[in-house]
Amino acid sequence: EIVMTQSPATLSVSPGERVTLSCRASQSVNSNLAWYQQKPGQAPRLLIHGAFTRATGIPARFSGSGSGTEFTLTISSLQSEDFAVYYCQQYNNWPPRYTFGQGTKLEIK
Amino acid sequence: EVQLVESGGGLVRPGGSLRLSCAASGFPFSSYWMSWVRQSPGRGLEWVAKIKQDGNEKHYVDSMKGRLTISRDNAKNSLYLDINSLRVEDTAVYYCVRTITPGGNGIYAYWGQGALVTVSS
């Protein structure tokens, strides 16, 4: 099983700040990496796929980078609606054994 | 508009069985692979199962293999997940999810609201 490790677990930031979240895979997943945002009481929302491609309707302040085993999600200027939990997910295997990271919680400083 | 609506969750005794259903609308259901993902405080987000468009290819998470059956009824635009021999650790919100494109990738662009399954005596 490919283990996805996210860091940090919690990040306290102020609105308007730039923030970078990290995700590491225990083995290469090429660029088969997605990022999701989840707010309390809601289902996850797809932000990024293919490591850097924004999903439909996702603001340009969200950007993804990386390949292989190291990935980052950057939010260029945090808005109030961005405080949430962020998950990375790899979808590299076939037959599928997709796995998610444990999440990074963005909280207001 | 794509809509996925789960039903069938609830309280189940350990060792019991459950069928989750997902009613899909707003897209050509029979053209898409479909999946289930679950979320619990202890295990986080976990991909559970996926099924091909015609129902003839299915894949399951190793940790639950043998206790799961995913199925679909394309005439009813419905997806199902049967879970048997339920354990306390199966307590989770189960999401019906659809990929971003019809193919079998794991990019989940659409999620239902989730069905809570609680396994407790």
Q: pLDDT tens for residues A46-93?
A: 999 999 999 999 999 999 999 999 999 999 999 999 999 999 999 998
Q: Note whether A96 contacts B112, CB cutoff 8 Å.
A: no
pLDDT reading at A95 higher than 90:
no
The tens-digit pLDDT sequence of chain B (121 residues) is: 999 999 999 999 999 999 999 999 999 999 999 999 999 988 899 999 999 999 999 999 999 989 999 999 999 999 999 999 999 999 999 999 999 999 878 999 999 999 999 999 9
List the single best residue of A33, A54, A98 to mutate versus B (max B Cβ within 10 A): A98
**Which one of B47, B106, B112 has the shortest CB-CB distance to A43?**
B112
Per the CB < 8 A criterion, the answer to whether A63 and A85 are in contact is no
For residue A38, the SS3 value is: strand
Omega prior to A95 cis, within 30 of 0 = yes
Residue pair A95/A2 in contact (Cβ under 8 Å)? The answer is no
List pLDDT tens digits, range A15-43.
999 999 999 999 999 999 999 999 999 99
Say whether A89 and B111 touch across the interface (CB within 8 A): no
In this complex, the residue of B106, B109, B112 whose CB is nearest that of residue A55 is B109
A44 touching B, CB under 8 A? yes
